[in-house]
Structure 1
Amino acid sequence: MEYRLHRYRSACGRLDLAARDYPAAEAGAPVLLMMHGLTRNSADFEPLARHLAGRYRLVVPDQRGRGLSQWDPDPAQYRPDVYAQDMLALLGGLGIARACLVGTSMGGLMAMVMNALRPGLASGFVFNDIGPVLDPAGLARIQGYVGPGGAMASWKEAAARCRAINAVAFPDFGGGDWLAFARRTCRENPEGTVSFDYDPAISRSMDGDALPTVPPDLWPLWDLLGAAPVLVVRGALSDLLGMETVREMARRHSGPYAHVEVPRVGHAPILDELPALAAISAFLKEYVS
């Protein structure tokens, strides 16, 4: 899959940021803005992009402190409202006035913030294993692995580290799956070692109370989605998004709403699983195409 690497300035004007821009086969095709989770980067959407590229224009950013985007010297700026402003700067620079917002975990929180900042921007929302209530068990698990860690000697070791962290979410993964996961999550250093592809300082946003930079009550942001079409993807083994929250999301939403559960997967689905792909394709065809 070919894409253009787009460089742009952060909303604050201090940082150089990067995004993948996958072109659509036809001019004027709908745009999907695909936003990754806390410790991931644009490569996280490669499996889904393989299925959607060409039919849609895919804009897939590295948030500040991840991938090819510059690390922020002020760790206090690693928070969803700041990322959301960066996303508005990205879309504005590309001349995109409307897009479907696809958010995995933290990316879904960003989508809700973006909607509050710019009502009418989103043609629809795809929330991947995230909602207005964050289960404390999942937050505690994430807090347990985010942050400083030593470099790994090889890609084989990186795959083993990824498995140790995420095996509870992907119990059916084999060796090849974990290597592919590591390739999307880590980077190779000039000396040949391998490191996770994010600034370890992002962990400071989770110090103390869980995710202190996220409002304690996210339901008002959810309610602001109004009648916009929504698809919620949940891993059946998720420890961050509970089914009670999913049901309440459906009850409170006034527009089209769909929910799909991915069996034998936790937080968060890769989005190349057959149930997720079928639901996303149907949702985009009906509401975004």
Structure 2
Amino acid sequence: MSDPFHDVFCQSADGLKLHAKTIGPEASPALPVLCLPGLTRTADDFDDIGRALALDPVAPRRVVSIDYRGRGLSDHDPDPAKYTVPIEMGDVLAIAASLNISRAIVLGTSRGGLISMALAATQPQLLAGVIMNDIGPALEMDGLMKIKGYIADPPPRKTWEEAARGLKTLFGGVFPSLTDAEWMAWAHRAFREKTDGSGLERTYDLRLAQGFTNLDPANPLPAIWELFDKLAGIPLMLIHGGLSDLLSRQSVQDMQSLRPDIDLVEVPDQGHAPLLADKPTIDRIKSFCVRCDRTDISAS
């Protein structure tokens, strides 16, 4: 059976080649889903949920998973100072426009959730629903420092076994239930073989770490509740890793108090960020998307 995913490419506003993966029927009456990955992540993170949504026998829908600049198969930016949420939001809009997507459900993991809130503030007409995967307006310093630590000086990995072991060492405490096969699958999403055959390389521009240079406990990221408020009126789901060190239970409760209608999904044995591959989470996402379809039809 051939791979149901298709690679598409377009150009950013400043001339970089951008990549996305698509799956599912373009002409489906169901809303498309735009999948936005985390800081160092790629479109490959959404393969499981993408297949589940696109190949659903009742409500198949188009799914587009995006590589921002500097990730996956998209060009690296010559200027690493441009690895920012506003510019990456522009990359998302460029890909959506190239695929004639003017209305969609946005599924944003971590960094992708921040971009989702920025879209709510600037392009609300695009958003028929938002799914935020382990991200919110207020983030924990411990989790941020952990991210800074593993992107600032990543150790080299020569073999796939070494890469899988390294990921398990780093994240095993917050993903205690993953099998060896699942760690290996994670490695294949996070690394690729170097073209010269000398080992593996990360699937992101290592200069992304420059954006964390000034981050420390004395210089925390400000909370962005004003952006969260821009999601008012947009159907909203929050997926929270029960072992997350980035999104606290207090922040989740604060989000619920502001949005009592939020569809909260707790993934008990996963940290930051849930992998969106287990059946209970996939089923909840599918149900939320169907609800967005109905809400969008009734509002139009």
| Fold-level similarity (TM above 0.5) | yes
Task: Give a deviation string over 1:213-251, Cα, whole Å, max 9, x none.
Answer: x97231000001111110000010001111111111122
Q: 2-side partners of 1:217 and 1:264: how far apart?
A: 27
Q: 1-side partners of 2:99 and 2:76: how far apart?
A: 22
Other structure's SS at 2:48 match: helix
Q: Which amino acid aligns with 2:205?
A: D
Q: How far off its partner does 1:87 sit?
A: 0.8
Other structure's SS at 1:30 match: coil
TM-score (norm 1): 0.93
CA RMSD after TM alignment: 2.1
Aligned residue in 2 for 1:6: 8
Does residue 246 (structure 1) correspond to residue 252 (structure 2)? The answer is yes
Q: Map 1:1-289 onto structure 2 (within 5 A).
A: 1-11=3-13, 13-24=14-25, 26-54=27-55, 55-192=60-197, 193-209=199-215, 216-253=222-259, 256-288=261-293
Does structure 1 retain, via aligned residues, the 8 Å contact 2:139–2:223? Answer: no
Q: 2-side partners of 1:270 and 1:232: how far apart?
A: 14
Q: 2-side partners of 1:288 and 1:222: how far apart?
A: 22
Q: How far off its partner does 1:26 sit?
A: 4.9
Q: How far off its partner does 1:29 sit?
A: 3.0
Q: 2-side partners of 1:174 and 1:42: how far apart?
A: 22
**Structure 1's 69 and 115: CA in aligned 2 closer, same or farther, altered over 3 A?**
same
TM-score (norm 2): 0.90
Task: Report which stretch shifted further, 89-98 or 106-115.
Answer: 89-98
Does structure 1 retain, via aligned residues, the 8 Å contact 2:28–2:61? Answer: no
Q: How far off its partner does 1:171 sit?
A: 1.0
Report the number of matched residues.
Answer: 287
Q: 2-side partners of 1:230 and 1:194: how far apart?
A: 38
Q: How far off its partner does 1:161 sit?
A: 1.6
Q: How far off its partner does 1:27 sit?
A: 3.2
Q: 2-side partners of 1:205 and 1:7: how far apart?
A: 26
Task: Report which stretch shifted further, 122-131 or 1-10.
Answer: 1-10
Other structure's SS at 1:96 match: coil
Task: Give a deviation string over 1:14-68, Cα, whole Å, max 9, x none.
Answer: 3111011213275343110000001110101112122112311011111110110
Q: How far off its partner does 1:278 sit?
A: 2.4
Q: 1-side partners of 2:221 and 2:168: how far apart?
A: 31
**Structure 1's 227 and 3: CA in aligned 2 closer, same or farther, altered over 3 A?**
same
Unaligned runs of 5+ in 1: none
**Structure 1's 19 and 246: CA in aligned 2 closer, same or farther, altered over 3 A?**
same
Task: Report which stretch shifted further, 99-108 or 150-159.
Answer: 150-159
